[in-house]
Structure 1
Amino acid sequence: MSSNPQSWQIGQDDQGPLSWQEQALCAQTDPEAFFPEKGGSTREAKAVCELCEVRDECLSYALENDERFGIWGGLSERERRRLRRNVG
């Protein structure tokens, strides 16, 4: 993962800026795994993200839109905050 803030830009293609979501493995998985209760396990969601082809696009989306809940691009909200701090 590049720590370059430019990498957070969501790329557009012929189908629009969010077409990557159609390819996301999480779209075929129980959404509750990606939004666990406080203190709940994130292991299942992160395992899905690890195999996902659009992980970078997902993380970029979460960072650009300041997503505060759930696992996005394989990172929890706390991990995304830490990433922002380290880059910023």
Structure 2
Amino acid sequence: MSRLPGRAEHHWLWQEGAACRELGSRLFFHITGEPAPDREARHEAAKEVCALCPVQRDCLRHALEVGEPFGIWGGLTEGERRRLGAAGGERPALSSTA
């Protein structure tokens, strides 16, 4: 290859506006040995952050496009994203504007 590919920050630039940016990953990714009631409470808390996030649609779009297997992305758990894909690819409208 004689030249490098062009810039690609448009693939991740949306993350700069994410409501979770300063919260760390513990709220959005499972903890080994986490009891089910704690997991459910953590999921609800994470989804509350996602519900107020200005880039929620971009986040969900990213997770669906790359097949993100772990964590809460765009307000959906890994299981919810899998079920969404198993339902025949029916996905929420993911326009780039909120």
Same fold (TM over 0.5): yes
Corresponding residue for residue 81 of structure 2: 80
**Alpha-carbon distance in 1 for matches of 2:18, 2:77:** 17
Q: What's the offset of the Cα at 1:70?
A: 0.4
1:22 aligned to which of 16, 22, 33: 16
**Alpha-carbon distance in 2 for matches of 1:20, 1:87:** 27
Q: Which runs of 4+ in 1 moved over 4 A?
A: none
Corresponding residue for residue 55 of structure 1: 56
Corresponding residue for residue 66 of structure 1: 67
Q: Which has the larger radius of gyration?
A: 2
Q: What's the offset of the Cα at 1:28?
A: 1.8
**Alpha-carbon distance in 2 for matches of 1:76, 1:27:** 18
Task: State the identity %.
Answer: 46
Corresponding residue for residue 6 of structure 1: none
1:38-58 CA-to-partner distances (Å, cap 9, x unmatched) read: 531311111000000100000
Q: What's the offset of the Cα at 1:36?
A: 2.5
Q: Which runs of 5+ in 2 are unaligned?
A: 1-8, 90-98
